Amino acid sequence: MKKTNEYIHKNVLVIGLAKSGLAAAKLLHKLGANVVVNDLKASKQESAVLELIEVGIKVITGDHPLTILDEFQIDEVVKNPGIPYSNPLIKLAQEKNIPIITEVELAYKISEADIIAITGSNGKTTTTTLIYEMLLVDNKRPLIAGNIGTVACEVAQDATKDNVIVMELSSFQLLGTREFKPKIAMILNIFDAHLDYHGTKDEYIYAKGKIYENQSSTDVAIINYDDEDVMRSAEGSHAEKLFFSSTKECMDGTYLKDESVWFKGERIISLKDIVLPGEHNVENVLAAISAVKLLGVTNSAIRKVLTSFNGVKHRLQFVGEVLKRKFYNDSKATNILATSKALKAFHTPTILLAGGLDRGNEFDELKPYLKNVKAMVLFGETAPKLERIAKESGIEVIKRVDNVEQAVYTAFEVSTTEDVILLSPACASWDQYKTFEERGDIFIQAVHKLN
């Protein structure tokens, strides 16, 4: 861990406990800060709360008292990424010009290892995992952190100069960065997402673009040439720019040619040898190859991963086959674009399981991708909206059920051999399930009960 005296005797407020808050509080305490933790929902008897109190950290639960900033003379706030800036305590800290960061910033400040940072509206976890696996096969000593795996500032504490940290980042995390400067940074894609948090698409693009903001000429910005918003985000970058494209031959980057993937004029692998399903995953592969080639990973290591890696759990994950019906779990598809990409991956009759939290949007953008959908099984708050677009798309078999488990059984009943049964909800899970992972696990369990 890189030594820093920045936090000695500094008064720091950590808002939101969870995994990232606990890790940040413990790290700050280790760095010599006077730490106060504030969490609205935590119980005073929770193990995490008791653990912090035991080492002398003040923990305030059940409320976000506005007096806390003055009472403890707070110099800096570390907030949980999910807490919006509209939170009254956060707003007050802003008014007082108190710096507000996320724990990702702490990770950067103490990391001895170079950081590869990955963000995007879709494909972050798959790309992060691909990069990690390629580096691992080539003995580059990678560590994985961020939205996937372990909290970034925990990983950074154990990282050395011989490691490289592969870090998946959300717009929420990036918005709370100030000096964060990854050695290699990439935005995979940008589309309308999390507007309930950011307010406008421009604010969302700004948050994503912070991944490039502090990079210098000794760093590399990997850029999706096919995405106008990504290109716009990278315009002011001072880093070396490396483009990837699935539509144009970027001779100084990563691209497709003759049904193969190429990097700077060198053929890497044939598309037919990549086992990861879906056209959208081609872009993830291009981005991953761009990053690892910069670190000298061999083509044989890249090929070994791409000929065996068949997806991340809950992200177009092949669950199994029952009586010649193939089941895929794409519970991570929490928006229309993700579901559109999942549907494009299949060219056989498909039964789509969809629905979830109603964020106010309609689903008309999904219509062009329903051509191979023979039936839709719908659940959650958005079921009526999805039923409308199913009817307008001429889908004859439309079923409404109470939950994902029922959806699996209903889909199986209306299916025939060679059908694909796809959970790709196009919605967040929070109307019925705590996380998309819980939703996906229930789907998997229900499929296994069919055997």
Report the C-alpha gap between 191 and 193 in whole angstroms: 6
Is residue 416 a known part of a binding site? no
Is residue 125 a known part of a binding site? yes
For the chain, what is the mean pLDDT? 94
Q: What are phi and psi of 278, to 5 degrees?
A: 100, 135
Strand pairing category for 260-263 and 254-257: antiparallel
Q: What are phi and psi of 422, to 5 degrees?
A: -120, 120
Is residue 310 a known part of a binding site? no
Cα 214 to Cα 114, 115, 219, 227, 229, distances in angstroms:
14, 13, 9, 21, 19
Domains, the chain, ranges and CATH?
Answer: 11-101 (3.40.50.720), 104-306 (3.40.1190.10), 317-450 (3.90.190.20)
Q: How remote is the C-alpha of 270 from its chain's centroid? A: 27
Query: HEC states along the chain?
Result: CCCCCCCCCCEEEEECCHHHHHHHHHHHHHCCCEEEEEECCCCCCCHHHHHHHHCCCEEEECCCCCCHHHHCCCCEEEECCCCCCCCHHHHHHHHCCCCEECHHHHHHHHCCCEEEEEECCCCHHHHHHHHHHHHHHCCCCEEEEECCCECHHHHHHHCCCCCEEEEECCHHHHHCCCCCCCCEEEECCCCCCCHHHHCCHHHHHHHHHHHHHCCCCCCEEEEECCCHHHHHHCCCCCCEEEEEECCCCCCCCEEEECCEEEECCEEEEEHHHCCCCCCHHHHHHHHHHHHHHHCCCCHHHHHHHHCCCCCECCECEEEEEECCEEEEECCCCCCHHHHHHHHHCCCCCEEEEECCCCCCCCCHHHHHHCCCEEEEEECCCCHHHHHHHHHHCCCCEEEECCCHHHHHHHHHHHCCCCCEEEECCCCCCCCCCCCHHHHHHHHHHHHHHHC
**pLDDT by residue (tens digit) across 381-439?**
999 999 999 999 999 999 999 999 999 999 999 999 999 999 999 999 999 999 999 99
Q: For the purposes of burial, counting CB atoms within 10 Å of the CB of 440, is it exposed (0-12), middle (13-18) or buried (19 or more)?
A: buried
Q: For the purposes of burial, counting CB atoms within 10 Å of the CB of 403, is it exposed (0-12), middle (13-18) or buried (19 or more)?
A: middle
Is residue 124 a known part of a binding site? yes
One pLDDT digit (tens) per residue for the chain, 451 residues:
998 999 999 999 999 998 999 999 999 999 999 999 999 988 888 899 999 999 999 999 999 999 999 999 999 999 999 899 999 999 999 999 999 999 999 999 999 999 999 999 888 999 999 999 999 999 999 999 988 878 999 999 999 999 999 999 999 999 999 999 999 999 999 876 566 666 688 899 999 999 999 999 999 999 999 999 999 999 999 999 999 999 999 999 999 999 999 999 999 999 999 988 778 899 999 999 999 999 999 999 999 999 999 788 898 888 989 999 999 999 999 999 889 989 998 989 999 999 999 989 999 999 999 999 999 999 999 999 999 999 999 999 999 999 999 999 999 999 999 999 999 999 999 999 999 999 999 999 999 999 7
- pLDDT value for 316: 87
Is residue 122 a known part of a binding site? yes
- pLDDT value for 305: 97
- pLDDT value for 38: 96
Q: What is the pTM of this model?
A: 0.80
Sheet containing 317-322: order of strands: 317-322, 325-329, 420-423, 350-354, 373-378, 397-400
Report the C-alpha gap between 266 and 269 in whole angstroms: 10
